[in-house]
Each structure stands twice: as structure tokens, then as C-alpha cells.
Structure 1
Amino acid sequence: MKGFVFFDLDGTLLNGESKVDVATAEAIQTLKGNGYEPFIATGRSPAETRDIMESANIHSGIFMNGQVVLYQEQIIYSSQIPTETVEKFHQMVKEDGYGLTAYNHERFYLVASSEGAKDAYGFIHTNPPALKEDFYKENPVNMLLFICLPPAEEKYKEAFPHLDFLRNTPYSVDVITKGNSKAEGIKRFLEYLNQEDAKTFAFGDGPNDIEMLQAVQHPVAMGNALPILKEIAEFITTDNTDNGIVNGLKHYGLI
């Protein structure tokens, strides 16, 4: 293996309709043929990215902002939020009238419904999941999606100091165990394979990609990325809707 390439999804690997372009999928195939392992690095869960992984032919990933790490579809790291913490969060959300989704690597359900759920999931061109309020009582939970508009999360940050809050859309916030991130997921994977010195590349556009770009040897910001990502990037490629992945991989001679 010559190295590893980590791709954020929304605004990066995916086009404006949250799909993988044919040219991008072909580039990933060429990348693999040239000896590089592609990884998804996303706030989403494996359960909601199966179609994307299949269309891109990528079988490894850093999911839920580092809460779960898969290598060739095998879990090599998993961090769970304690059930009593989810219970307390759930009750607080219901009292305040917000929405909440509980995730693990296999499935995800709304545990508190709200009108905002349509906007939150519509932002990534999907429908809200089914409602199952007691899902977390009998299943492990790796991540919560707190469905709210800013600055609602500020109150919850004070109430749950052992959790991290990552706002990735105007309508929702990823809630994970404090200390985890895409960067930590990459670190754990490289340690698992004893590949700490391997060549590493990462493509991203949003706030939860900052640490990831700082953690790799060759950070790439999309043309549509936030200004702060462009400041720390080694290379700025074109937009995700303008062959950004293909052009970035070509820049480094990976395809």
C-alpha cells in the first residue's frame, strides 16, 4: 500500500445532489489500482452511506466524526455514548421541543420528532428516519443528531461537558464523545495497521474537516470550502461540482 486518501462526503466527494459523479467513481477506481486505499471520512454513519460506498467502491471509513472506524468493512474502533447520557439528553430535548436521532453503525432512528427533521435531512437530500423513541434503551448509540437551529446547542454544551457538539448544517448538530474526531479516527487506523509513516491525503470543505486536514501530510481544500480550510490546505482544488476530487488527485499524481 502506497498511502491512504480520506474523503469527506457532503460538499466534497458528493455532488450537489449528494451523489457520486461517474468521473469521481472512475477516479477512485484508478486510485485503488495505483496502490492507494480510499477512505470515507464523514459525520454520517455506515448505515446511511451504504449506497454511497457501493457507488464509489470504497469499503473503509471514519464515520460519525471518528466514533466508528471501519477497515475493509470490519470495525476496528467504536466509541459509544452511555445509555444514561442519551436518556438525559433525550428528556431535555423533548422538554425543549427539538428533534433527536440516535445512531449506531447498523441503524438509526428518530427518538424525538420535530418539524425541523425535514429540513435537517432534506439538506443532504434524504428523508427523516422512522420514529422509535426507545431505540437507545436496547441498542448501543455512537452518535446523536441534535435537530435545532443555532444557538440552541449552547445550553446543551453546558449541560453535557463530556460531549462534543459539531454543527455541520444550519439545522442540526452532531453530538459525539469528547475527544473523538475524524483526525483521531485516522490516527487510530494508522496505529492499527502500524502505518503511522504512510503517505496520507485528505479532502474536505467544512468545519469538521479542520482537524482532519491538519492530521495528514497533504491537506486538500475543495474550491467551495470554508476560508479557514483553504488557509491550512497545501492545495486548493476546484469545487465538488466541478471535478474537485479528480483534479485534486491529478495534482498529486495519484491518478
Structure 2
Amino acid sequence: MAQPGKATVFFDIDGTLGWTDPNKRDALPEWERGLSPTPSPRVAAAIRSLVARGNHAFLCSGRSPVGIHPDLASLPFSGIIALAGAYVTMGDKVLRDRPLSADVLAHIDRVLAAGGYGALIESAHGAVELRGGALGRRSGTPDTMDEAIGQLPDGCAYKLVIRSSAADELVADPQLGSQLVASRLEMQNSEVGLACNTKKAGIKAVLSHLGDDVGVTYGFGDSENDLTLFSEVDVSVAMGNAIPEVKRLADYVTDSVSEDGVASGLEHLQLV
């Protein structure tokens, strides 16, 4: 039986807890350019208050754990659903670990290479760009999938960020498409991973591990890959800047990320 009065809340990162204008990333210090945005002081204070009241807070993102900004990671989250559900941790315990297989990666590479596409390949412990990255602009990057995977610390790939046109080709591939899922991101990019790896699957792993220590579940999100997050929680909250489909399916629409919508939503729900 769930603990009465307790809550477990799952937060998307980009566009929800914070946002970085892609056109301004190059102005950031080099070490910070590939990292997640950071929450405003009001949102950070709301997360601390939520947890101080005995609730659980989880990051639930398409990002790799190593792509989370230290200022965000320092907040009292109970765990991370990372790489769109492919890699889930609580403390030092790994609850879910589902990388792409070598055969699937090889097939993906054949499709991408035929179309002249590059990719950002993400693992739980790093990332590497293939053939110039998603935009095809980076010089000195590996030309083959095998070479790129060899540069990852764990030798595993969980998710790719590619041009949306390339993602469309992959999910339409008659041999490969049924194994993959693609979600639209900003700047005409999409993330592609195994169909079994979703935020819903990541949340299921967390809830199974928590057992009775769950309470009412809540989810905050703004984009396409948050639809599976919404399908697994009791109460779904869309950001004011969310895409129309996310807003339509949400139980509640809060303020936009620029207006500290996470803090406003937690206040409205009387969780802080």
C-alpha cells in the first residue's frame, strides 16, 4: 500500500526545469556548452522544499547522466531516469540498463551513411559525434559507427540525436523501424532509441523499486517524449511552453519555463 500523503514527482529537464537558447550556447564556457540548463533559484528552492516534506523527486530526461549540469545534479533528487528511460539509477544502484545492440547500430549506420547523415551518439558515461554530429558540422569526428562506439567510455550506445529527416527514414525502414522510437526535439533534430526505452519504462522501474514508498505520482513535461511519462503518472502537468499535444493530454497546465512553471505547478498542487 502506498504511503498516504506522500508524492513521487518526475521532472523533465529541457523546457521544464530550465532552458538554454540553442543559438546562445556558443557564448557559454566550453565546459558548459553540452550540459543541461539549470533551474532558476525559485525552481531550485521548490525542489528542495518538495523533498524536505518527505517526497521523492526524480529527473526524467532524454539526457545522459553526464550531460546534467552540476548545479542541477546537486539538488536532492532520489534518482535519474536518463537517456529517455534506457538507463535508470537510484544512488549507486542501476535499475534499468538497455543499450542498442551491435546489430541494430550497424543497420542504423548503413541507413545514415546512405543518406549522408551524421549523429550524436549518447551513452551513460559520455557522448561522441559521428560524421560531424547531428548537424554534420564538426570536423575530426569518426566516420564509422564502430570507430565512434570505440571512443565511448563504456562502449555502449543508448540513444542517437539526428536530423528529423534521418529519424523518419529509420522508423520507416522495413527491417529496423519496428524496433525503434523517435521523438522530435528542437532545431529540426530528433532522438532515436529502442522502442522499449521510454520514460514510461523508466518510471515503471523506479516505482517497482520503491514499492510501498511511492504515494501519488506526478509528472512535469513539455515535449513529445513526455507523453509516455504522462501515461504512467497519476497527475500530469504540462508546461506553458509545451507542445499542443502535451497540453491537451495534461491534467493541469502550469506557467512556462521562463515563468518558473515547475515552482508554480508544485505550489498549485500543494506539494511545497
Check whether TM > 0.5: yes
Q: Identity across aligned pairs (percent)?
A: 25
| Residue 199 (structure 1) aligns with | 216
Correspondent of 1:154 among 141, 156, 168: 168
Q: How does 1:190-229 map to 2 (within 5 A)?
A: 190-195=207-212, 198-229=215-246
Maintained 8 Å contact 2:120/2:134? no
| Residue 136 (structure 1) aligns with | 149
| Residue 9 (structure 2) aligns with | 5
Normalised to the residue count of structure 1, the TM-score between the two structures is 0.86
Q: How does 1:45-56 map to 2 (within 5 A)?
A: 45-56=64-75
The one-letter code sitting in structure 2 at the alignment partner of 1:19 is T
Distance in 2, matches of 1:176 and 1:130, equals 25
| Residue 253 (structure 1) aligns with | 270
**RMSD value, Cα:** 2.4
Structure 1 stretch displaced more, 27-36 or 128-137: 128-137
Task: State the number of aligned residues.
Answer: 244
| Residue 125 (structure 2) aligns with | 106
Correspondent of 2:252 among 235, 240, 250: 235
1:191 is paired with a residue of what secondary structure?
Answer: helix
| Residue 124 (structure 1) aligns with | none
Maintained 8 Å contact 2:81/2:89? yes
Maintained 8 Å contact 1:221/1:229? yes
Distance in 2, matches of 1:114 and 1:7, equals 27
1:16 offset after TM fit, Å?
4.6
1:176 offset after TM fit, Å?
1.0
Normalised to the residue count of structure 2, the TM-score between the two structures is 0.81
1:202 offset after TM fit, Å?
0.5
| Residue 122 (structure 1) aligns with | none
1:253 is paired with a residue of what secondary structure?
Answer: coil
Maintained 8 Å contact 1:4/1:199? yes
Maintained 8 Å contact 2:10/2:59? yes
Distance in 2, matches of 1:129 and 1:195, equals 51
Distance in 2, matches of 1:145 and 1:95, equals 17
Q: Call closer, same or farther: CA 1:228–1:23 in 2, change over 3 Å.
A: same
1:7 offset after TM fit, Å?
0.6
| Residue 26 (structure 1) aligns with | 45
| Residue 32 (structure 2) aligns with | none
The one-letter code sitting in structure 2 at the alignment partner of 1:54 is A
| Residue 99 (structure 2) aligns with | 80
Distance in 2, matches of 1:232 and 1:114, equals 33
Structure 1 stretch displaced more, 37-46 or 228-237: 228-237
The one-letter code sitting in structure 2 at the alignment partner of 1:89 is I
The one-letter code sitting in structure 2 at the alignment partner of 1:166 is S
1:90 offset after TM fit, Å?
2.0
1:62 is paired with a residue of what secondary structure?
Answer: strand
2:259 is paired with a residue of what secondary structure?
Answer: coil
Structure 1 stretch displaced more, 210-219 or 45-54: 45-54
2:207 is paired with a residue of what secondary structure?
Answer: helix
* 1:41 to 2:57 alignment: no
Correspondent of 1:165 among 169, 182, 187: 182
Structure 1 stretch displaced more, 130-139 or 226-235: 130-139
Distance in 1, matches of 2:70 and 2:135, equals 25
Q: How does 1:115-126 map to 2 (within 5 A)?
A: 116=135
Structure 1 stretch displaced more, 57-66 or 131-140: 131-140
1:53 offset after TM fit, Å?
3.3
